Chains A and B, each alone.
Chain A
Amino acid sequence: MIAKNMLMGGEKLPMEVGSSAAMVLPADKAAAEVAYQTATFGLG
């Protein structure tokens, strides 16, 4: 199941509000409408 979801070549992180790719489950739809900021860390 996991193997079929391999990202081929990688995809860049979207930086715009409302750009989530997950839009089927109700909680995901609601979360996609929330204005957000993104933080990124390298954790070692």
Chain B
Amino acid sequence: MLRTRAGYAGGTTESPTYRNIGDHTEAVSIDFDPTVVRYEDLLERFWEAHRCGSAGGQGQYMVAVFYHNEGQRKVAEKSRAKAAKKEGIAEAEVATKVLPLGSFTYAEAYHQKHYLTRHSDVREFLEETYPTAKELADSTVATRLNAFLGWGFERDGAVLEKEIGGYGLPEGLKKDVLARVRKP
């Protein structure tokens, strides 16, 4: 993943916020390199992560695929049919929505990079480097540190060790992060 962002999508309300989300729902936006991972792969993970016959949700907490273009729509609808078959239900019974994106609005800074709130030294360094919430949300380094520190070393430790040298972290902070994620 290159970048991930929390935000609001799927509605028409202008400038939604957490306290005034209007007709939008909470959403995550993922920038990915299609030469490394395919949109189909992300959809497969998405369908695997919930019961599509009953987990549709609504309003602020909708479960949905928001497609960005016609190509994504076709792939998403195909994946919905596959998920329905796997679930043993008719496609019409799938509660999960497949909808046009419309627009995506960044959520407030305190909703971005959630796991870094538990690592204030890392977050402070990133906020000093990126003073605006939009910069912080767009940072690949912040995205990846959030994932590694959130999920733990055992999942992708070798990857972190290989790439952390290129993040541009101060040496002391880099050592601290590695020590933290190595801790059982």
On chain B, the residues within 8 Å of A21 by CB distance are 130, 132, 134-135, 137-138
Work out how many contacts link A and B, with CB atoms closer than 8 A. 170
Task: Assess the B62–A39 pair: CB atoms within 8 A.
Answer: no
Could you list 24 examples of A-B contacts with CB < 8 Å? Answer: A1-B120, A1-B127, A5-B109, A7-B133, A10-B7, A10-B107, A12-B105, A13-B104, A15-B68, A22-B136, A22-B140, A24-B130, A27-B141, A28-B139, A37-B68, A38-B68, A39-B39, A39-B42, A41-B28, A41-B46, A42-B10, A42-B66, A43-B27, A43-B63
Most chain B beta carbons < 10 A, residue from A4, A20, A32: A20
CB distance A2 to B110 under 8 Å? yes
Query: Can you list the 6 inter-chain pairs with the closest CB atoms, starting with the nearest?
Result: A5-B109, A22-B139, A31-B140, A13-B104, A10-B105, A42-B64
Chain B residue with Cβ nearest A31: B140
Determine if A13 and B141 form an interchain contact, defined as CB atoms under 8 angstroms apart: no
Interface residues of A (CB under 8 A from B): 1-7, 9-13, 15, 20-28, 30-32, 34-44
CB neighbours (8 Å) of B166 from chain A are: 26-27, 30
Partner of B106, one of A7, A27, A39: A7
CA of A21 to CA of B58, assembled, Å? 31
Given A21-B132, A39-B42, A43-B28 in contact, is the A34-B2 Cβ separation under 8 Å? yes
Query: With contacts A10-B15, A27-B168 known, what are 12 further pairs, Cβ within 8 A?
Result: A5-B127, A6-B109, A10-B105, A12-B105, A20-B31, A21-B132, A22-B142, A27-B167, A40-B65, A40-B104, A41-B66, A42-B66
Contact of A42 among B9, B43, B107, B133 (CB under 8 A): B9
A6 touches B108 (CB 8 A): yes
CB-defined contacts of B110 to chain A, threshold 8 Å? 2-3, 6
Give bound CA distance, A41 to B163, whole Å. Answer: 27
B55, B108, B166: most-surrounded residue (chain A CB, <10 A): B108
